[in-house]
Amino acid sequence: MSFQGKIVLITGAAQGIGKQIALDFAREKATTILFDVSEEALEAAAKELSQHSDSHYFIVDVTDPVQIEQAINKIIDKFTKIDILINNAGITRDNLALRLSESDWDKVLDINLKGAFLCSKACARHMVKKRSGKIVNISSIIGIIGNPGQVNYSASKAGLIGLTKSMAKELGSRNICINAVAPGYIQTKMTEVLSQKVKEQMLERIPLKKFGKPEDVSKAVRFLSSEDSDYITGQVIVVDGGMI
Ligand code: NAP
């Protein structure tokens, strides 16, 4: 699979799944553009990616429409287009619903859901003009099955599936495909914090008897970003080792 000549924008790309997605696109010769909030981590990631292909970064908080707009204007000025957008930035602030603060509800919904809406809106405007584009939203199996202690996260990831399906219907006639990937348990900093007991319980529920790696998510993302999926839109691919 080659993405030579493609301009790919990935949010939350300084580490974890987003960085892996960016790295795999770079290995396949795409020009990668990384959005994240930590300059140090962004600079290190972009440097690593530059060994494979052209890579640029912007410090962009995906909840800030002004920062998004300014960065996207610069990208369009330089490259004239954005072919592929991967909405990957996401956080957790776990607590039981009865103890969950309003601010932790808002923060998770703002980054995970509103951030994807704002970035999609800003990119889709340019994709519509080109009559071409792919958007992949990183949801989660928790948005499909729910999870105690994660009402905010689950709602945000379920919301992303609704966003995916609705935007796919709105933009299909403009040849823009919008799909989601719903990972299960993937080994990153986000899941590192779980206790050994929770990890063991989780493993028991995974038919393939192993945790996923960022590469497993990245493969599904690249399929949904490639010509191989040109007749697929509004869908969710679950990458969870058979867990749900
Ligand atoms: P991660 O290692 O924490 O990476 C997420 C990245 O997003 C971080 O670099 C983070 O920066 C960045 N970010 C946070 N807030 C942001 C904002 N407002 N604007 C821009 N970037 C922001 O997490 P991950 O495990 O790779 O997860 C990536 C995505 O996959 C998330 O959407 C997550 O919900 C989803 N997912 C993960 C798993 C899993 O098992 N790991 C499973 C299902 C779905 P800072 O760290 O500096 O805040």
What per-residue confidence (pLDDT) applies to 33? 98
Q: What's CA 91's distance to the chain center, in Å?
A: 11
The helix/strand/coil state of 146 is: coil
Share of the chain above pLDDT 90, in %: 97
- What mean pLDDT do residues 61-70 have? 98
Active site (annotated) includes residue 57? no
- Alpha-carbon distance of 82 to 85, in angstroms, equals 7
Distance CA 36, CA 52 (A): 20
> pLDDT at position 117, please?
99
Please say whether the dihedral angle defined by the alpha carbons of residues 149, 153, 158 and 159, taken in this order, is positive or negative. positive
What mean pLDDT comes out for the span 112-123? 99
Which domains are seen in the chain, by residue range? 7-239 (3.40.50.720)
Is the distance from CB of 243 to CB of 186 less than 8 angstroms?
Answer: no
Residue range 212-225: mean pLDDT, rounded: 98
**What pLDDT was estimated at residue 204?**
96
Q: What is the pLDDT of residue 190?
A: 85
- Mean pLDDT, residues 83-101: 98
pLDDT mean across residues, the chain:
98
Q: What is the average pLDDT across 93-120?
A: 98
Confidence (pLDDT) at 59: 98
Segment 22-33, tens digit of pLDDT: 999 999 999 999
17 CB less than 6 Å from ligand 1?
A: yes
pLDDT mean over 111-118 = 99
Is-contact 36 57, C-beta < 8 A?
yes
Atom 2 (ligand 1) nearest CA: 16
Rounded distance, CA 124 to CA 49, Å? Answer: 25
Strands 84-87 and 55-59: unpaired
- Residue 205: phi, psi to the nearest 5? -90, 0
Cβ–ligand 1 contact at 16 (below 6 Å): yes
**174 in Cβ contact with 148 (< 8 Å):** no
- What pLDDT, on the 0 to 100 scale, is given for residue 10? 99
Report percent pLDDT > 70 for the chain: 100
Work out the average pLDDT over 47-60: 98
Do 217 and 237 form a contact (C-beta atoms < 8 A)?
Answer: no
CA of 8 to the centre of ligand 1 (A): 18
Return d(Cα 166, Cα 67) in angstroms, integer. 25
pLDDT bucket at 216, cuts 50 / 70 / 90: very high
- Nearest atom in ligand 1 to the alpha carbon of residue 16 is 26
pTM of the model: 0.98
Distances (CA, A) of 195 to 4, 17, 105, 158, 240: 42, 21, 23, 25, 19
pLDDT tens column, 160-203: 999 999 999 999 999 999 999 999 999 998 888 889 999 999 99
* Cα gap 77→115, rounded to integer Å: 22
52 token code pair: 């494979």
Residue of 64, 90, 79 whose CA lies nearest to 32:
79
Q: What pLDDT was estimated at residue 1?
A: 82
Is residue 156 within 8 Å of residue 108, measured between CB atoms?
Answer: yes
60 within 8 A of 89, measured Cβ to Cβ: no
At residue 49, does pLDDT exceed 90? yes
Q: What pLDDT is attached to residue 41?
A: 98
**pLDDT beyond 90 at 229:** yes
The response to whether residue 218 sits with its C-beta less than 6 Å from ligand 1 reads no
The response to whether residue 94 sits with its C-beta less than 6 Å from ligand 1 reads: no
Predicted confidence at residue 148, as pLDDT, reads: 96
